[in-house]
Structure 1
Amino acid sequence: MKALPLHTIKAVFTVMFVVVFTSINFAQEVSEDSIKEIDSMASKMFTNMNNRDYDAIIEMTHPKVFDIVPKETMVSVFKSTFEGNSEFSIEIPKQIPEYKISDIFKDEEGGSDYAFVSYDMEMSMTFNNETFDEDTKETMVKMMKMQGMDAEFVSNKTVHLNMLNRMTILIKDESTNNKWAMINYDPDSPLFFQLLSATVIEKAKSYYQDLMIAQKKKD
């Protein structure tokens, strides 16, 4: 019983954002234009989530995702997640969180440019068919902490989550028609490894570890 809520939370988080360092020197004007594009896309990503604009989220997602998961299936899962279902309902504040944009890196072998957007996200989750006693809540809070989430139960069935250092990878190459597309950083997902090159995966891991170290210094 204890494992089910954590599994559900992780599944919800993965869906929410499916949508989602190598040094590089390039002309200043290219850098400025690209960073403006990335900043605009990051802002749009959160705006579309706030508006529950599933079609817009789909359009921003890396096209290779749909070689594995059909668009219709993903839209259905989005609706079930954000509009509630028999197991749980979630509430996400309609706001654009503060986010950090990395430098832009180049995967010479894969022929892609990529960058990372990191942010904290808040949400509340209510379990419709379960209630938890104090011991179970305490255990769940500790386990969620191990998943990078600060959790606080506001009732016996509702938990408020602050998900720290979430990260989305923005990438553009021939497969995206040289437009920026997003993929959620989820090293536990086999899908993640199927879509990205080893270079991007390694640099994403390194960047994420740096975020975690910086967070540790703050705590």
Structure 2
Amino acid sequence: MNYNIKHYSNLVLSILVIAISLNSFAQTNAKTLTQIDSLANKMFVDMNNRDYDAILDMMHPKAFEMAPKDVLKNIFKSTFEGNDEFSVDIPKTIPDYKLSEVFESEDNLEYAFVSYDMSMKMTFHKQEFDEEAKQMMTTVMKAKGMDVSFLTNNTLSIVMKNRLTIILRDDFTEDKWVMLNYDPDSPLFYQIVPEGISETARVYRQNLMEKRSHTNN
């Protein structure tokens, strides 16, 4: 009888310890998601305000090993404000973005994905497209998850579906949350992104695209 009492007491104690640990983990996870949600919202606000310094401050520090901040700032300004070759009109809005769960790796790395659709208009100032070129561009961009329609021979309406931004922190970022866009076509992406994230991001985005395809069918 005493053995049974001791056995059940230990069992109850173990359950309580597990329950407290799980509750603590859930609270920590919820706090982290709140931080990431705030950063995601700030990212869109900074884009709408064309606050290039704030955008650069959120970028992964490895990006600055490949190009100085002033060079990247000029690229942002050229993209958002236009140049001799083209101009881009991105609506000032906060899209209906979604957050993933928080992922963790053994090397003190935490990250999450922000997925959203982005629409824009792009106008080429020195180039026009004939019907064959329009069809080719539409096909190529659709394969990359973008819907394109030509408003004129030099102006495109683009909807970028399931765009993915990675928000992460690790020892390299000195525990500061930073961001980078998922771009599997860019060699620079694989030089910046920590090992292991690229495959998780690929699978995550693929699942988003498949889920969307099934919903539309």
TM beyond 0.5: yes
Specify the alignment match of 2:86 in structure 1: 88
Q: Which moved more, 1:24-33 or 1:77-86?
A: 24-33
**In structure 2, C-alpha distance between the alignment counterparts of 1:136 and 1:199, rounded to whole Å:** 38
Structure 1: unaligned runs, 5 residues or longer: 1-23
Which residue number in structure 1 is paired with residue 35 of structure 2?
37
SS in structure 2 at match of 1:175: coil
Per the alignment, in what secondary structure is the counterpart of residue 158 of structure 2? Answer: strand
Worse-matched range after superposition: 130-139 or 145-154: 130-139
The alpha-carbon deviation at position 86 of structure 1 amounts to: 0.8
8 A contact 1:107–1:200 mirrored in 2:
no
Aligned counterparts of 2:23 and 2:200: Cα–Cα separation in 1: 17
Equivalent in the alignment of 1:164: 161
2:188 match: 191
Give, in angstroms, the shift of residue 173 of structure 1.
1.0
Instruction: Count residues in correspondence.
Output: 195
**The 10-residue stretch of structure 1 (134-143 or 204-213) with the greater mean CA deviation from structure 2:** 134-143
Describe the SS at the equivalent of 2:88. strand
Structure index of larger Rg: 2
2:73 is matched with which residue: 65, 72, 75?
A: 75
Amino acid across the alignment from 1:58: L
The residue number in structure 1 matching 2:114 is 117
> In the alignment, what sits opposite 2:4?
none
Q: CA deviation at 1:25?
A: 9.8
Gaps of 5+ in 2: 1-21
Tell me how far 1:187 sits from its aligned partner: 1.5
TM-score by length of 1: 0.84
Distance in 2 separating the partners of 1:116 and 1:210? 13
What is the TM-score of this pair, normalised by structure 2?
Answer: 0.85
Asked whether the 8 Å contact 1:97–1:120 carries over to 2, the reply is yes
Where relative contact order (Cα < 8 A, 6+ residues apart) is larger, the structure is 1
Looking at structure 1, the residues matched to 184 and 135 of structure 2 have their Cα atoms a distance apart, in angstroms, of: 27
Taking the TM superposition and a 5 Å limit, the aligned residue runs for 1:87-166 are 87-108=85-106, 110-166=107-163
Q: Percentage identity across aligned positions? A: 49
Distance 1:106 1:26, change over 3 A: farther
Question: Distance in 2 between the 1:217 and 1:64 partners?
Answer: 37
